[in-house]
Structure 1
Amino acid sequence: MELDVVSLSRLQFALTALYHFLFVPLTIGLSILLAIMETVYVMTGRTVWREMTRFWGTLFGINFVLGVATGLTMEFQFGMNWSYYSHYVGDIFGAPLAIEGLMAFFLEATFVGLFFFGWDKLSRLGHLAATWAVAIGSNFSALWILIANGWMQNPVGAAFNPATMRMEVTDFWAVVFNPVAQAKFVHTVSAGYVTAALFVLGVSAWYVLKGRHLALARRSMTVAASFGLAASLSVVVLGDESGYLATEHQQMKLAAVEAMWETEPAPAAFTAFGFPDQQARETHYAIHIPAVMGLIATRSLTTEVPGIKDLVVRAESRIRQGILAYDALQQIRAARGAGVPSEVTASFEENGRLLGYAYLLRRYVDDPRQATEEQIAKAAWDTVPHVPSLFWAFRIMVGIGMYMILLTAVFFFLSARRRLDRYRWLLWVAVWSIPLPWIAAEMGWIVAEFGRQPWIIEGVLPTAMAVSHVGITELLITIAGFTLFYSVLAVVEMGLMLKAIRKGPQPAPAPAPMLSAGQAPPRAIPAE
């Protein structure tokens, strides 16, 4: 990595985003599990389910606080390190971000307080409603963040305005119902459910191994195994949908993930294994599975899948069109309302959607219209992300996903046979598997975000143009500061979580009575 403002800004955001995402999946998944457990408690009245909700709720609370604290930092980075990005697309990106803030701080955070402090002040149904509000708020908070992120992957419902030199919303509902955003939402949320399920399964397995809190542990394992199996299967199905959409909207990312340098004729084969070589532009020792890539990418056996080299040729053509758009834009700006020739306006309307491709040349020349053929060719190859990183990140993610399906299926089978404590080695496997969902989730974000490079907004704005005018020294200092601060937070968070797990569930106080509508809770009688 070059030691420049763009690379350091990317590194800083990557570090904070990856750290923040350690907390997001567990928060999303545990919130639903808490709601399920408390629903069973309200339906059955058995106090063990109340103890389960309170215990796992304590771990949820620790994780929730750290997630909010680390998420706030990222909000400020948009204005501090990515100011031109915020200026260029603030009209579109800012709206879902603001709605997410309302969801997180007005809905989710409000009902979190009722969840923790309302056990003896609300009726059973009232507290259950607060718990479900926390779960719904957590999931809807993720929805709006992923709508914003999905727009960066597939910028729909917006257009560039030459008068303001900004992207502006043309169809808000197209932004909300962006198919890429919706696919990312359900895929990410399902991954969060798997993370929480494996966490509950592993901690409960540890209790069974130690012979502690067996009633709570066995029930928690049953819930986690069934919930985790369903979520693991849905992750695979929804991940397949993301791959299909990438064929339509992000073909270069898909080709890089598969290390597919040449166009694959139908039926396209899937590269199961190999060693991508970015310099030689080929994949060594590749092992292919016939027809699988065609099914994933095109849902057919009769459509070819374009490779990296052909996509680079296409990028060259788009860069040339982008230069025409850039030239028309400069003429429009120079006219300053004095009357723009109709042919100039027509040229911009025809090529304006590819203006971002002209900006790729800014790395080599100040005025894209002065670019040489060699510079155009280099800019076209800049549209190729780092293939080995994406290739291996994707396979690690998929491999862990397959493993989690197997693990949850085994424990689901054992729970149905009431044999959860029969095989101690399987319980240890569950304990040691706790970190795996986080690794898979981080690999998924690397594929999604690193695979979009060199674009911060796919096909619209290169990452190199989006940064603020800040100094390298300031960036190095803040990166070091964030690394130190987040490391301390990681130690604190792990310490609190381990302490709560070692302590285990505490006997719950007497549950609140069921109150009918309009009935006041009984008042305590003061001692004589």
Structure 2
Amino acid sequence: MVALDLARWQFGITTVFHFLFVPLTIGLPFLVAGFQTAWLATRHDRWLGLTKFFGTLFLVAFAMGVATGIVLEFQFGMNWSAYSRLVGEVFGVPLALEGLLAFFLQSTFLGLWVFGWERLPKYLHLGCMWVVALASAFSAYFVLAANAWMQWPVGYHFDDETGRAELTDLGAVLTNKVLLANFPHVASACFLAAGSLVAAVALWQLCRHPDRDRAAFRSALKVGAVTTVVGGVALAVTGAVSTQTMTDTQPMKTAAAEALYWTARPAGFSLVTFGTLTDANEIASYRIPGVLSLFATGDLGGEVRGIDDLQREYEQRYGPGSYVPAVPVTYWAFRLMIGLGGLAVLAAAWALWWMRVDRPAPRPLIWAAIVLPALPALGNSAGWIFTEVGRQPWIVFGLMPTSAGVSPTIGTSTVALSLTLFTLLYAALSIVTVGLLVRYARAGLAPEGPQDEGEDEPEAGLVY
């Protein structure tokens, strides 16, 4: 059990660190491609400066995402060989598609974009970044297909002789209803994260250096803030759809997210709960009537099953044991996911309002610029913690418990050593990565030429 717990901690730490950069590598290339498209359409040099400026930040995030993603996949063979043996034929197919198709396109055309300035025709060069953006989206889709299969396994046959799951329908895996619900939700979160970074950097530059690159960073702030607000609205809508799918496939996760121990009709959404969250008799919860029923079933009067009823059902279906996830972690991770995303949207809306009044920035707005990139990053991490912890005790829902997936021959000391080394390595990488992002974000735009003619902004606003 000690080796199992350490293996879970290691995978969790690696996943959370990796996913700090993934949303940026998915959402940011679309914004960079948009900036470059605006430059070719208008020939205003501020868009070229923004393209190269935020393209540099994207490259830093991409490099860290690749490095941590490779280590993440190695763990399937290191610590989770029993899991890999059981489901490798099914789980490995979407990951192979991600590596051989999406990542190949992404890395190849990103290289062409980086080294193609002044070498490729302008529109062909722009097309490279759009391919990078679309390949990033496909990469996310294939990875989410693998994860969705763990949440709701479809398109497979279990061979009793070999003791392995065999792929029978790739189409079913790639159209899993959990995948179709979660992909728009994750994509919205990626645009929320990318828009927040763009808005935060532009806002900070305008607040700290109001007379430097003014026209360019006002444009970037508007694009980033609007992307953040739209991404937040889309996140809420797709989250409601995802909740209904989650209730249909994993009702225990929905019940744990609300600390709902007894079946309710209608069921209210818990604003805050006091108590241990592990005992229904020790919980004092304040709920909005009917809201959970609406999100979970699409009906204000719909029934939402409680933890106790589901536990009895799962014992009859799967045998003796506890099928209740860590309710406190699931409950609070769900609320952190929603709350941090909402704060990012409010900060972006505040920045848009400030642009309209065009007054000196208040000090709280400057602090908002500093914390804004962290809000969606932490919210995305909380969302993944909720998704994975809420699935426990299953590593593949209904097919394989997490305790059965760990490598049978791995020792506690081995996992402890690798956990320590990975944690220290990632701590060092985080310092380097944050340092690079801050350094490039503070530098401002590189000189590209004279300021756009006919601009309404004050002169000397752009360092071209």
TM range (shorter): over 0.9
Structure 2 matches for 1:93-492, cutoff 5 A?
Answer: 93-211=91-209, 212-265=212-265, 267-282=266-281, 284-318=283-317, 357-358=318-319, 376=320, 379=321, 382-415=322-355, 417=356, 419=358, 423=362, 425-468=364-407, 469-492=409-432
Q: Tell me, what secondary structure is at the counterpart of 1:277?
A: coil
- Between Structure 1 and Structure 2, how many residues are aligned? 447
Preserved CA contact (<8 Å) 1:146 1:185: yes
- Report whether the alignment pairs 1:507 with 2:436: no
User: 1:355-393 CA distances to partner (integer Å, 9 max, x unpaired)?
Assistant: xx35xxxxxxxxxxxxxxxxx2xx0xx210010111111
User: How many Å apart are 1:422 and its aligned residue?
Assistant: 5.5
Partner of residue 69, structure 2:
71
Distance 1:314 1:38 in 2: 56
Distance 1:49 1:283 in 2: 58
User: 1:36-62 CA distances to partner (integer Å, 9 max, x unpaired)?
Assistant: 111111111111101100000011101
User: How many Å apart are 1:412 and its aligned residue?
Assistant: 3.6
Preserved CA contact (<8 Å) 1:421 1:427: no
Distance 1:420 1:73 in 2: 48
Distance 2:134 2:275 in 1: 42
Preserved CA contact (<8 Å) 1:262 1:308: yes
For structure 1, list consecutive stretches of 5 or more residues without a partner in the other structure.
319-356, 359-375, 511-528
Q: Tell me, what secondary structure is at the counterpart of 2:173?
A: helix
Distance 2:60 2:316 in 1: 52
Distance 1:46 1:418 in 2: 25
- Report whether the alignment pairs 1:54 with 2:52: yes
Bigger shift: 295-304 or 15-24? 295-304
Give the counterpart letter for 2:165 in structure 1.
M
Choose 1 or 2 for highest CA Rg: 1
Preserved CA contact (<8 Å) 1:276 1:387: no
Preserved CA contact (<8 Å) 2:277 2:327: yes
Partner of residue 11, structure 1:
9
Q: Say if 1:411 and 1:278 are closer, same or farther in 2 by CA, change over 3 A.
A: closer
Distance 1:42 1:254 in 2: 48
Give the counterpart letter for 1:59 in structure 2.
L
Partner of residue 325, structure 1:
none
Distance 2:101 2:376 in 1: 25
Distance 2:280 2:176 in 1: 33
User: How many Å apart are 1:103 and its aligned residue?
Assistant: 3.5
Partner of residue 459, structure 2:
none
Identity %: 42
Distance 2:359 2:238 in 1: 30
Give the counterpart letter for 2:219 in structure 1.
R
Q: Say if 1:405 and 1:206 are closer, same or farther in 2 by CA, change over 3 A.
A: closer
Distance 1:286 1:84 in 2: 41
- Report whether the alignment pairs 1:37 with 2:50: no
User: How many Å apart are 1:406 and its aligned residue?
Assistant: 2.4
User: How many Å apart are 1:275 and its aligned residue?
Assistant: 2.6
Give the counterpart letter for 2:387 in structure 1.
A
User: How many Å apart are 1:247 and its aligned residue?
Assistant: 1.0
Partner of residue 495, structure 1:
435
Distance 1:60 1:302 in 2: 46
Bigger shift: 243-252 or 294-303? 294-303
Distance 2:263 2:203 in 1: 48
Give the counterpart letter for 1:16 in structure 2.
T
Distance 1:276 1:190 in 2: 33
Distance 1:487 1:142 in 2: 25
User: How many Å apart are 1:394 and its aligned residue?
Assistant: 0.8
Q: Tell me, what secondary structure is at the counterpart of 2:286?
A: strand
Give the counterpart letter for 1:228 in structure 2.
T
Distance 2:281 2:133 in 1: 46
Partner of residue 526, structure 1:
none
User: How many Å apart are 1:504 and its aligned residue?
Assistant: 1.9
- Report whether the alignment pairs 1:28 with 2:37: no
Distance 1:432 1:474 in 2: 38
Preserved CA contact (<8 Å) 2:259 2:277: no
For structure 2, list consecutive stretches of 5 or more residues without a partner in the other structure.
451-464
Q: Say if 1:471 and 1:420 are closer, same or farther in 2 by CA, change over 3 A.
A: farther
Distance 1:420 1:242 in 2: 41
Distance 2:277 2:149 in 1: 29
Structure 1 runs, 4 residues or longer, greater than 4 Å off: 420-424
Distance 1:242 1:306 in 2: 17
Q: Tell me, what secondary structure is at the counterpart of 1:286?
A: strand
Distance 1:41 1:94 in 2: 41
Preserved CA contact (<8 Å) 1:384 1:453: yes
Give the counterpart letter for 2:367 in structure 1.
W
User: 1:261-302 CA distances to partner (integer Å, 9 max, x unpaired)?
Assistant: 11112x221111103535534452210110101100010134
User: 1:159-188 CA distances to partner (integer Å, 9 max, x unpaired)?
Assistant: 211122111122211110011112221111
Distance 1:297 1:280 in 2: 23
User: 1:189-216 CA distances to partner (integer Å, 9 max, x unpaired)?
Assistant: 2111111111111111111112232122
Bigger shift: 243-252 or 115-124? 115-124
Q: Say if 1:58 and 1:282 are closer, same or farther in 2 by CA, change over 3 A.
A: farther
User: 1:69-100 CA distances to partner (integer Å, 9 max, x unpaired)?
Assistant: 01000111111111111111111101000011
User: 1:203-257 CA distances to partner (integer Å, 9 max, x unpaired)?
Assistant: 1111111223212211100111111111110001111111101110000011000
Q: What is the CA RMSD across the aligned residues, in angstroms?
A: 1.7
Partner of residue 342, structure 1:
none
Distance 2:304 2:86 in 1: 33
Preserved CA contact (<8 Å) 1:263 1:304: yes
Distance 2:434 2:47 in 1: 25
Give the counterpart letter for 1:159 in structure 2.
H
Bigger shift: 50-59 or 208-217? 208-217
Distance 2:102 2:449 in 1: 29
